[in-house]
Structure 1
Amino acid sequence: MKIFAVKDEAGICKTPLMWLIYSPAGKMFFIELPDEVDPLNIPMPLDSLYKRGIRTVGSEESMQWVRLRIVPPDRQNIAQILADLKLQAYDEFKLLEYTKGRCSHDDYYIAHTSESKLPANLRKRLAKRVRDIMPMDDCRLAVFFQNGETKVCDLHWILAKPEFRSIARGSVFSALSVLHDGYGIGWGTGETEILYGDLYSSGISIPLSYEDVVGFIRDRILDTAGAAKLLACSPQNVNALRKRGKLNPIVEKDKYSLYLRSDIEQIRPS
């Protein structure tokens, strides 16, 4: 994760106006706005989002802000520009770094910083990013946050939004994944993402930690070899039990199966 402070070269505001976060793995930008600041100090057009109470800006809108500050991909001589910069392909991040985010429209620029140098309230906010997720029934999702909290989020409310209508109700979780650096969850494009702050504020806390789930998986789920060891038989016998319907795996693939330990214990000889 790369972090930039967005500053005003004219010196009107001495503190960073906002922070630009870049995820190299996902090639995504996110903007974090200060908690309390004069809206006049927020770069346009993000000031309108700030006035609506938005503090974390999604990847699409963040990318739009970045693209306003770099040479556009449809520039007539873009091939020569990329060659001069020794870039093999158009890369928003590298172009932004090269220009330090400066453009002719204003006095803003970007400067590298680290997470340890961010304000305490922003570090606390970022601690609510997503660590992992666990699908549940009825379009509910258990979300494990990086600060150690776990919340159950009802995703029914997103299905009514226009940008999410293409997601079939019965396959909400089929293409769902955690965004890079835990910025939320998404379905493949920036238009269908839910940021970590919205998940955190809408979720209901439950007394279940990520470590609890990992511990359950480690101790209570067995592969064929583990099932054979518990039953004191060969893996071939376990496969035979499965084929006869005496043992039902919770995951069944071409080359392996996974079983609940409790199901194995029910047929284990006394």
Structure 2
Amino acid sequence: MKGTKYMKIFKIIDEENDLLSGVLLYYEKSRTAIIELPEYLDEWNAPLLFTGYIKKKIYTIPRDMSFCWIKERVIPSGRQNIGDILNTHHLKSYDEMQFLEISDGRCSQDSLYIRKTDEVPMFVEERQQRNLKECVIVGNGRLLCFFYDGCVKKVDIATLDNVDADDIAKVIRHKGLYESGQIGVGGYYITFNNSIDIPAWALYGAKETLPLTLEDFKKFTQKNMLDTTEVCNTLECSRQNISYIVKKKHILPIKESVRGNLYDKCEILRYKW
């Protein structure tokens, strides 16, 4: 999976040990950062902020902690003379990532710095194959996940390991929150209300793998979904008739919209029986 047009790529280098310590991916439009760590790192040579993840053998750092790493290395927004600093660097507003680039990511606390690159390193590309390509909310706390490597998994989020149990319980308990789920930048996570994230690697580790491809799913949708006009043609009736049938709950739309609904073709055919 290649980087997007609006993604910046930086190598995180340990100057003292001449070691690649990570890769920072920064998605400019959403101002989201993801840091990928090489698997040869251990708790002694990894960036200090990430040693807890290394101990758990987690090498893809969540977006909040990745951005925290950036913030720890730049001038804080509350600095008393921040206006003068912005003027000196010809910046219109405070932006952590711009300050990180200006300083090459250097910090007095360690020997790390960043170097911009145009290519996503191979180990990151290989890892990104386990990122989400599509994700469908299927109900009852379950997700149908399609990954870039072609793997498809049906995941009960209540059974996931290495994720915050309280957050998962909250998602399951609140229907609106659960149904707000959508894929985050780069397919690195699914986010609920842009506040609770489940990382792709946790979903990929689920046990239930399905012999199904994304193309199969798309084909199913194309062949088995009918819009209101197609239902009218199939049942040989008007939109008013369809509205009446729906109100009587003889057929139920899968998705409702002011422009028209979507229906399960099989259910419409059964209605003709």
Query: What's the TM-score, normalizing by structure 2?
Result: 0.85
SS in 2 for 1:141: strand
Counterpart position of 2:22: 18
For the structure 1 residues 114 and 237, does the alpha-carbon distance in structure 2 shift closer, same or farther, using more than 3 Å as the test?
same
For the structure 1 residues 165 and 182, does the alpha-carbon distance in structure 2 shift closer, same or farther, using more than 3 Å as the test?
same
Deviations 1:68-96 (A, max 9, x none): 11111111111222233333322222222
Structure 1 range deviating more: 156-165 or 255-264? 156-165
Counterpart position of 2:180: 175
Deviations 1:143-190 (A, max 9, x none): 111111111222114697244454452525223221111111122456
For 1:258, give the aligned amino acid. L
* Gap runs ≥5 in structure 2: 1-6
Alignment pair present for 1:184 and 2:186: no
Counterpart position of 2:10: 4
* Equivalent position to 1:79, from 72, 78, 83: 83
Counterpart position of 2:4: none
For the structure 1 residues 266 and 153, does the alpha-carbon distance in structure 2 shift closer, same or farther, using more than 3 Å as the test?
closer
Shift of 1:199: 1.2
Shift of 1:105: 2.6
- How many aligned residue pairs are there? 264
Counterpart position of 1:133: 135
Shift of 1:135: 2.1
Given that 2:132 and 2:145 are in contact with CA atoms closer than 8 Å, whether structure 1 keeps it comes out as: yes
SS in 2 for 1:153: strand
For the structure 1 residues 165 and 247, does the alpha-carbon distance in structure 2 shift closer, same or farther, using more than 3 Å as the test?
closer
For 2:181, give the aligned amino acid. L
Alignment pair present for 1:156 and 2:158: yes
SS in 1 for 2:33: strand
Counterpart position of 1:226: 230
Q: How does 1:202-217 map to 2 (within 5 A)?
A: 202-217=206-221
For the structure 1 residues 162 and 251, does the alpha-carbon distance in structure 2 shift closer, same or farther, using more than 3 Å as the test?
closer
Deviations 1:14-51 (A, max 9, x none): x4111111122332211111112354332213234213
Write the distance in 1 (CA, Å) between the matches of 2:119 and 2:203.
Answer: 22
Given that 1:154 and 1:203 are in contact with CA atoms closer than 8 Å, whether structure 2 keeps it comes out as: no
Shift of 1:55: 0.8
For 2:79, give the aligned amino acid. R
Deviations 1:106-144 (A, max 9, x none): 33211122445x13x432211111112122343121111
Counterpart position of 2:197: 193
For 1:19, give the aligned amino acid. V
Shift of 1:99: 1.9
* Equivalent position to 2:44, from 24, 28, 40: 40
Counterpart position of 2:57: 53
For the structure 1 residues 146 and 134, does the alpha-carbon distance in structure 2 shift closer, same or farther, using more than 3 Å as the test?
same
Q: How does 1:92-103 map to 2 (within 5 A)?
A: 92-103=96-107
For the structure 1 residues 142 and 68, does the alpha-carbon distance in structure 2 shift closer, same or farther, using more than 3 Å as the test?
same
Shift of 1:4: 1.1
Write the distance in 2 (CA, Å) between the matches of 1:202 and 1:26.
Answer: 28
Shift of 1:246: 4.1
Structure 1 range deviating more: 147-156 or 103-112? 103-112
Identity of aligned residues (%): 30
Write the distance in 2 (CA, Å) between the matches of 1:151 and 1:252.
Answer: 27
